[in-house]
Structure 1
């Protein structure tokens, strides 16, 4: 089975062209999490600001709730790659507290505007 990589970002894609399921809004991100609820997500990439008033917080809240209920979503690594340092820090703190493996990735070249 191929690796499952999900990118939640309104503008960016993977610079290396790696296969990923992409959500451009928080609603699309929620739909991808629901569609893959019973499968391991190898990598989940989160951008904080998703255009307009939309943010990734609805996705983060679903992850928090799942962990609180004792059924965390199985994710190998969550990478927060937001250009919003305050928002990125809040996401990382919330998900760290829930036991997810999270890293902040400012300045990574893996995601970019294409």
Structure 2
């Protein structure tokens, strides 16, 4: 069986400062780490991406959202099956959902 026909493992990425996210295959704890994590998976299909809005202190998910926006604007959106936004900040979470839907990402609010 060649590599292209082999079943691949699901890629589930999480960006959250506190939650363990047990289904995630990789977790970033800051927006900077989140941008690096996405860059690392740029040419791969990401099955799920879990985003928390508030990442501790003055950090938020918005730099990651900006990266997702920019790549979609450039016509090279990340290939993500579903983005789940989980946050204790309702207005922040709704902003993330609204912005990403505008760029045709599949997004939904969730609890982690």
Unaligned segments of structure 1, at least 5 residues: none
Residue 19 of structure 1 deviates from its aligned partner by: 4.4
What is the aligned-residue RMSD (CA, Å)?
A: 0.8
> Is contact 2:45-2:79 (8 Å) kept?
yes
Residue 78 of structure 2 is aligned to residue 73 of structure 1:
yes
TM-score scaled by length of structure 1: 0.89
Which one of 20, 23, 27 corresponds to residue 13 of structure 1? 20
Which one of 35, 38, 41 corresponds to residue 36 of structure 1? 41
In the TM superposition, what are the counterparts of 1:23-102 in structure 2 within 5 Å?
Answer: 23-102=28-107
Residue 18 of structure 1 deviates from its aligned partner by: 2.6
SS of the residue aligned with 1:65?
helix
Moved over 6 A (4+): none
Q: Which residue of 1 aligns with 2:11?
A: 4
Distance 1:89 1:82 in 2: 9
How many pairs are equivalent? Answer: 105
Distance 2:69 2:23 in 1: 27
Larger Rg computed on CA atoms: 2
- Pair 1:68–1:13, CA change in 2 (3 A): same
**Greater RCO (CA < 8 Å, at least 6 residues apart):** 1
SS of the residue aligned with 1:12?
coil
TM-score scaled by length of structure 2: 0.91
Distance 2:15 2:86 in 1: 10
